[in-house]
Amino acid sequence: MAAPRSYVLWSYCGRGWSRLVRTCGPRGLHSSLPAGSLGVRFLSQEKHATQTHFGFETVSEEEKGGKVYQVFESVAKKYDVMNDMMSLGIHRVWKDMLLWKMNPLPGTQLLDVAGGTGDIAFRFLNYIQAQHQRKQKRQLRAQQNLSWDEIAKKYQDEEDPLGGSHVMICDINREMLKVGQKKASDQGHKAGLTWVLGDAEELPFDDHKFDIYTIAFGIRNVIHIDQALQEAHRVLKPGGRFLCLEFSRVNNPLISRLYDLYSFQVIPVLGEVIAGDWKSYQYLVESIRKFPSQEEFKEMIEDAGFQKVTYESLTSGIVAIHSGFKL
Amino acid sequence: PLWRSVLRELWDINFAPLTVRQTSAAMTTLWLRVSLLYPDHIPTSPLQKALLAAGSAGMALYDPYRHDMVAVLGETTGFYTLKVLRDQMRRDPEGTQILQERPRISLATLDMDKLRSLPEGSFGREYLRFLDVNRVSPDTRVPTRFVDDEELAYVIQRYREVHDMLHTLLGMPTNILGEIVVKWFEAVQTGLPMCVLGALFGPVRLSARKLHVLVSELIPWAVHNGHRAPCVLNLYYERRWEQPLAALRKELGITAVPPCMQGLA
């Protein structure tokens, strides 16, 4: 245990360091060193108790909250444009796949945490509406099965197109919520939405309130992920589902190298050119590297009390959808 | 001091219960911090510089109000030209003083009241008039980030801050024609690729009439003066506020402003 660590330090001091630096550049070193947790965590971590990571930087926990807030405040207006540029539009497919996996029924109460610009919430509403329209079409084709009540209701247009479904969008960042609200009014989503300012680690909701809890690309910015998971467990009804869409570890070594190259060389440049903000996008790609792997995150979800936890890796592990049930 | 904090970080990393991956990440952060040559420095690889140069050039053409893109283009493409400029500055006594003392031009360092109290026709008074008439402020320049040498980072920062002085010296307003003329002057004087590109591609969006005026009168005038004048980065502008503008123009060999642009700056 001591040996690998001092080897790492020594390799930084000698000529190996300048060779490493010249070949890999300042960011690629962690991927060229042997992975895996060889260190044993001691109980006495007082000095590092309130230290956490902000990308590759070490900061105190109070600082991290403020810094993450500033990052999202500055990227809020260009968030969607940058998502499209960085993922070449593939993020839309990932979010669609999350909805397909969710397969919500009318009447579902959804809580979308860190859902600032509303991508998941709008997709949810569209999904429910599309389901409702399909159901109406089926009914119309089989006219003779409609009761008088239903026909009368159709003429009166009383039926709620959402069937009682509702989505609560919760985000810690005011700017992201503002952008989301504007998008909602532009796209014409009026009913079935509520916007709430709140912290994922301390949700402003009662226990056993929601059927589904989703968090898409938000949980890696939370300071205490275990607390966020416990809050998720708290606010879900028994039988409720937890779904998390997040960047994860790539399992293929070739794609991993290309992905690292793209992440560290191209994405901050895109951030600078399009949004005028290099550092926020540097934080983004670093925070992706700091997030635990699919298996580790699965264990964290199980620790929070969820059962039947599964995960599905998309695009060879660039993102993963984790799902768990509160039983 | 930096070395003490670096040693402390190394000590912490050595004795902290970190995994191999965390140790390497911590060492990377430490290396980055040590390798920063100046406070705003962002180290970039050659690939990143190439992508930045291409992206910023495209974005600057697409959205002319993105001045930060023009600045980034200058930083990523001007490394060798900046060296030439720095050597030119070193050969001149006033230039070496500037390199040693590193004066900065911003609202904090300028004494606006003193400049306002100077007599009419002096350089400082005319500079202030230029700022007021065109409603610009010396504080809108982005700091240098992508130059990998701290002296050259200062040289390009100085070039940016001196841009407004050049407007005053040449008598050019801040409309598109005036900016292009100043860019041509700077291109001839400094040879920075960003200035050359800006001078060549700036007129792309002009009307035919303006283009005619530009090509027939203004560009020859700018090029002629650019060749005649010594390196404008060598002037310690902060010491020349009281000098009459006409005398300063004579010293640099700048001829009279063309009639079409007179009285606009």
For B149-192, the pLDDT digits (tens) are 889 999 999 998 888 888 888 888 888 888 888 899 999 999 89
The pairing of beta strand A236-247 with beta strand A319-325: antiparallel
- A272 in contact with B, Cβ within 8 Å: yes
Contact A29 B24 (CB under 8 A): yes
pLDDT in tens, chain A (327 residues): 444 444 444 444 444 444 444 443 344 333 333 333 333 333 334 444 577 888 877 788 888 888 888 888 888 888 888 899 889 999 999 999 999 999 999 999 999 999 889 999 999 999 999 998 898 888 778 776 667 887 787 777 666 778 889 999 999 999 999 999 999 999 999 888 999 999 999 999 999 999 999 999 999 999 999 999 999 999 999 999 999 999 999 989 999 999 999 999 999 999 999 988 898 899 889 889 989 999 999 999 999 999 999 999 999 999 999 999 999
Contact B72 A272 (CB under 8 A): yes
ipTM summary value: 0.79
pLDDT in tens, chain B (265 residues): 667 777 877 777 777 666 665 666 567 666 666 678 888 889 899 999 999 999 999 998 888 788 889 899 999 998 999 999 999 999 999 999 999 998 888 888 888 888 888 888 888 888 888 888 888 888 777 889 999 888 999 999 999 888 888 888 888 888 888 888 889 999 999 989 999 988 888 888 888 888 888 888 888 888 999 898 888 888 888 888 888 888 988 888 888 888 777 666 5
- A29 in contact with B, Cβ within 8 Å: yes
pLDDT at B77: 92
* Domain membership flag for residue B242: yes
Nearest to A9 among B14, B51, B55 (CB): B14
pLDDT at A50: 76
Quote the CA–CA distance of B152 and B79 in Å, as a whole number: 8
- A290 in contact with B, Cβ within 8 Å: yes
Cα angle for residues B152, B158, B160 (degrees, 5° grid) = 110
For chains A and B, what is the number of CB pairs under 8 angstroms? Answer: 97
Query: In which region does residue B133 sit, left (phi positive, over 0), alpha (psi from -120 to 50) or beta (all else)?
Result: alpha
Contact A82, A273 (CB under 8 A): no
* Domain membership flag for residue B195: yes
Contact B29 A57 (CB under 8 A): yes
Domain that holds residue B157: 39-263
Contact B29 A268 (CB under 8 A): no
* Domain membership flag for residue B10: no
- A22 in contact with B, Cβ within 8 Å: no
Flag whether B41 is marked binding: no
- Residues of chain B positioned with their CB less than 8 A from the CB of A40: 17
Quote the CA–CA distance of A243 and A104 in Å, as a whole number: 12
Nearest to B18 among A39, A274, A279 (CB): A39
* Domain membership flag for residue B217: yes
- Residues of chain A positioned with their CB less than 8 A from the CB of B11: none
- Residues of chain B positioned with their CB less than 8 A from the CB of A272: 52, 55-56, 72
Q: How far is CA A138 from CA A103, A156, A225, A308, in A?
A: 19, 19, 44, 34
Nearest to A269 among B17, B27, B51 (CB): B51
* Domain membership flag for residue B252: yes
Contact B187, B149 (CB under 8 A): no
Flag whether B167 is marked binding: yes
Contact A58 B29 (CB under 8 A): yes
* Full-model pTM: 0.76
* Domain membership flag for residue B26: no
* Domain membership flag for residue B13: no
Contact B35 A29 (CB under 8 A): no
Contact A265 B14 (CB under 8 A): no
The tally of domains found in chain B comes to 1
User: What long-range pairs does A123-128 form, CB within 8 A, spacing at least 24?
Assistant: A123/A95, A123/A96, A123/A99, A124/A99, A124/A165, A124/A167, A125/A162, A125/A165, A125/A167, A125/A189, A125/A192, A125/A193, A127/A99, A128/A104, A128/A162, A128/A163, A128/A165, A128/A192
Q: How far is A84 from chain B (nearest CA, A)?
A: 16
Quote the CA–CA distance of A207 and A210 in Å, as a whole number: 9
Residue type, B6: V
Contact A56 B56 (CB under 8 A): no
* CB within 8 Å of A190: residues ≥ 6 apart: A184
Cβ-based neighbour number of residue A247 at 10 Å: 20
* Domain membership flag for residue B18: no
Q: How far is A21 from chain B (nearest CA, A)?
A: 10
Flag whether B179 is marked binding: yes
Flag whether B164 is marked binding: yes
Contact A274 B12 (CB under 8 A): no
